[in-house]
Amino acid sequence: MSTATDTIEDLVKTEYKYGFVTDVETESTPPGLSEETIRHISAKKNEPAWLTDWRIKAFQYWQKMPEPTWQFVKYPPIDFQAISYFSQPKPKANAPKSLDEVDPKLLETYEKLGIPLRERERLAGVAVDAIFDSVSVGTTYREDLAKKGIIFCSFSEAVQEHPELVKKYLGSVVPYTDNYYAALNSAVFTDGSFCYIPKGVRCPMELSTYFRINAAKSGQFERTLIIADDGGKVSYLEGCTAPMRDENQLHAAVVELVALESSEIKYSTVQNWYPGDENGVGGIYNFVTKRGLCKGKNSRITWTQVETGSAITWKYPSCVLLGDNSKGEFYSVAVVNNMQQADTGTKMIHIGKNTKSTIVSKGISAGRGQNSYRGLVKIQKTAENARNFSQCDSMLIGSKCGAHTFPYIEVKNTTASVEHEASTSKIGEDQIFYCNSRGLATQDAVNMIVNGFCKEVFKELPMEFAVEAQKLLGVSLEGSVG
Amino acid sequence: MSKPILEIKNLHAGVENKQILKGFNLTINESEVHALMGLNGSGKSTLAAILAGRDGYEVTEGTVNYLGKDLLELDPEERAREGVFLAFQYPVEIPGVNSTYFLKAALNEIRKHHGLQELDAIEFLALVKDKIKLLELNEDLLKRSINEGFSGGEKKRAEIFQMAVLEPKLAILDETDSGLDIDALKVVAGGVNKLRRTDSAQLVITHYQRLLNHIVPDFVHVMADGKIVKTGGKELALELEAGGYEAILKQ
């Protein structure tokens, strides 16, 4: 007879499915960070002078900043000089003009990851931009989208082809002075996705970026910028994986969303970077700044995230609710297992009148994982009749993990209404036994219970990804019991 | 003679060095309904828990044979797939997990175990519609999360409903009558009666005689201090009702 107590204490031996390395010749800059490195990256990408200058200013600012230590995570100091800041698969001749010219090994990589890029095998109704280490490998459905005036391309291409839009919005939501990792990203970012939805256009398909870190000792610093013009609507999804390596790799991205009048941006993340092994060796440091600006009246930004990977996750997808009647939403499932640490949450800054925000956070801790929710709800003086509702639930699996909640609430307008609900529960042996006694194996029971716990968040994900997320959750918690 | 389903021989078991069952013997054959009665603390619920495979009990002596298998060697989910069903005294709530989805998963695990094809959603719903009438259950309950926000009576009815869908060989009802008003009791008992089959058996654990007005057992056993002290027909329950446990225990 298996004893539930022992098995719950059993630590995990989960295989990370995406841990393979693609054998392609890469071109990497030698490790190290200086103005010279930045000029090198900028020159490689053939950037205009204003962008090079912007990078240098960010770098100079970053050098003066102290590394932050307030977050509830532990890691040895990062040697920023030991990282290679630019890595790309060696181009065969010139840059590939279409996906047919892309190195087949790269296409294979994405196929193995379940992201087919070739025309005939494409995911139905989803346009994908695939980022491999520092560069975009290819973007699908571009022509179809262009017919509607939608721009969806890699950041590098946007700099070349739509410099006026990039110049106008880059750094407008997350200035390089914002925080340590945003400054670093601004200095060294290499590629990412760019999206512009014109006035009154509803994007007919899901847009998606798939990030893959492949090269060793490299960091990934991507920059994503999404703009929805008046009345534009878009749903966007990002996915991430990396090979298994014993050393830690840094991923410091910046995502900026700009929602103009009556527009809607839905940004969903399924993050599955390599989490390290069961002893905490290796894994990605995921230090990311994501922020959306509801600039126009009646605009709406929704962040949905399922965070299962990374050794350390540190991110707070936020909304600045500037336009009157604008809405910000944050739905999050964060899972930590083994030695993983997550300090994640959101910031909702209410500035406009009648602004509304909703926060639903579900933290799941297993193994020796530590999971923290950290959230700020700020109601400015100008935000008449602002409303916020926050719900933060934590679930513990086993007795060696931890869940922490750090809610910050600042209200400067008396007409505001702010509600915060929080709960912590331990996955019950009674619940597991109940499922067992109906014929369900323990692992299936845990998956079912955890999925039930996360239901409110999953229903916010685009359908096909909700199914993926459920599976991913199952894999992440494999071995946490049973 | 009908085939034995369950044979418990000289079972000694307990928790953390405390002996609860002290030489328990019981044989249940196909088509039989057995009632197990006794005061609180006599070991009734411990027996149910051990049969279902709940963690934390230690069996120190004796055997439990279920359809030719050593029941104690099986994991709880294997027992369920082999046809053992426990209707819980206190069914747990599982927030966010849809009752129908849960029950379909459970039934398909059992079917898979017996080499049967799994039912798809449409086939399963047809089955559910059929069984739900049996218990006068509100269909809404099936759309809700498992037991979440159910009243005491609804939880017990939902347990019997699960039993109706899973069709166990051996159903153990652990104080299913506790907390039920007389109307709910009649519905639950009525459901249980309809589920009697010639190839299965029921073990009804109860503290009170009143359930046995509605579920008529073939045998009544009185349990005290970890073993059965008296066995009789359904009239034994009435004797208990009239004279109380003390009179029986004195004999």
Name the residue with tokens 């699960």. B162
* ∠ Cα A333 A72 A33 (to 5°): 100
pLDDT bracket for residue A482 (50, 70, 90): very low
Query: Quick one: closest CA in B to A1, which residue?
Result: B75
Q: For chain B, what is the total number of helices (H) and then of strands (E)?
A: 8, 12
b/e burial code for range A21-52 (CB count within 10 A of at least 16 → b):
ebebebebbebebeeebbeebbebbebeeebb
Query: Quick one: closest CA in B to A433, which residue?
Result: B54
State whether B97 and A428 contact (CB < 8 Å). no
pLDDT bracket for residue A5 (50, 70, 90): very low
- Give residue limits of the domains in chain B: 31-43+75-250
Residues of A in contact with B102 (CB under 8 A): 435, 438, 448
Residues of A in contact with B76 (CB under 8 A): 1, 433, 436-437
Cα–Cα dist A410/A413, whole Å: 9
pLDDT bracket for residue A11 (50, 70, 90): very low
The reported pLDDT for the residue numbered B105 is 94
- Say whether residue B76 is in contact with chain A using an 8 A CB cutoff: yes
pLDDT greater than 60 at residue A462: yes
pLDDT bracket for residue A15 (50, 70, 90): low
Nearest by CB to residue B81, choosing from A2, A3, A439, is: A439
The reported pLDDT for the residue numbered A220 is 76
State whether A439 and B72 contact (CB < 8 Å). no
pLDDT bracket for residue A71 (50, 70, 90): confident
Segment A446-458 shows an average pLDDT of: 84
Instruction: Tell me the one-letter amino acid at A329.
Output: E
Cβ pair A222, A253 in contact under 8 A: yes
Q: Which CATH code fits B31-43+75-250?
A: 3.40.50.300
In this prediction the pTM is: 0.79
Segment A423-430 shows an average pLDDT of: 82
In a domain, A482, yes or no: no
- What's the gap in Å between the CA of A452 and the closest CA on chain B? 4
HSE toward the beta carbon, residue A40, CA cutoff 13 A: 15
Task: State the complex-level ipTM.
Answer: 0.95
Residues of B in contact with A5 (CB under 8 A): 55-56
- Say whether residue B75 is in contact with chain A using an 8 A CB cutoff: yes
- Say whether residue B149 is in contact with chain A using an 8 A CB cutoff: no
pLDDT greater than 80 at residue A441: yes
Which range, of A35-39, A87-91, A333-337, B192-196, averages the lowest pLDDT?
Answer: A87-91
pLDDT in tens, B22-40: 999 999 999 999 999 988 8
Return the SS3 of A78. Answer: coil
Highest average pLDDT, of A22-36, A185-199, A230-244, comes from: A185-199
- The whole-chain average pLDDT of chain A stands at 81
pLDDT bracket for residue A118 (50, 70, 90): low
- Say whether residue A449 is in contact with chain B using an 8 A CB cutoff: yes
Segment A320-327 shows an average pLDDT of: 97
In a domain, A86, yes or no: yes
- Say whether residue A56 is in contact with chain B using an 8 A CB cutoff: no
Q: Residue B213: which residues within 8 A CB-CB, separation 6 or more?
A: none
Residues of B in contact with A439 (CB under 8 A): 77, 80-81, 106-107, 109-110, 113, 166
Q: What percent of chain B has pLDDT over 70?
A: 99
Nearest by CB to residue A452, choosing from B77, B79, B94, is: B94
b/e burial code for range B39-58 (CB count within 10 A of at least 16 → b):
beebbbbbbbbbbbbbbebe
Residues of B in contact with A4 (CB under 8 A): 55
pLDDT bracket for residue A125 (50, 70, 90): low
Pure H helices in A342-440: 429-436
Q: Residue A207: which residues within 8 A CB-CB, separation 6 or more?
A: A126, A127, A129, A152, A193, A195, A234, A235, A236, A237
Nearest by CB to residue B80, choosing from A436, A444, A449, is: A436
The reported pLDDT for the residue numbered A10 is 36
- What's the gap in Å between the CA of B101 and the closest CA on chain A? 10
Which range, of A3-17, A107-121, B184-198, averages the lowest pLDDT?
Answer: A3-17
Cβ pair A255, A290 in contact under 8 A: yes
The reported pLDDT for the residue numbered A74 is 78
pLDDT greater than 60 at residue A92: no
pLDDT greater than 70 at residue A474: no
Residues of A in contact with B86 (CB under 8 A): 437
- Say whether residue B95 is in contact with chain A using an 8 A CB cutoff: yes
pLDDT in tens, A357-404: 999 998 888 888 888 899 999 999 999 999 999 999 888 888 888 888
pLDDT in tens, A127-183: 667 766 655 656 667 778 889 999 988 888 899 999 999 999 999 999 999 999 999
The low-confidence residues of chain B, meaning pLDDT below 50, are none
- Say whether residue A438 is in contact with chain B using an 8 A CB cutoff: yes
The reported pLDDT for the residue numbered A4 is 34
Residues of B in contact with A437 (CB under 8 A): 52-53, 76-77, 79-80, 85-86, 88
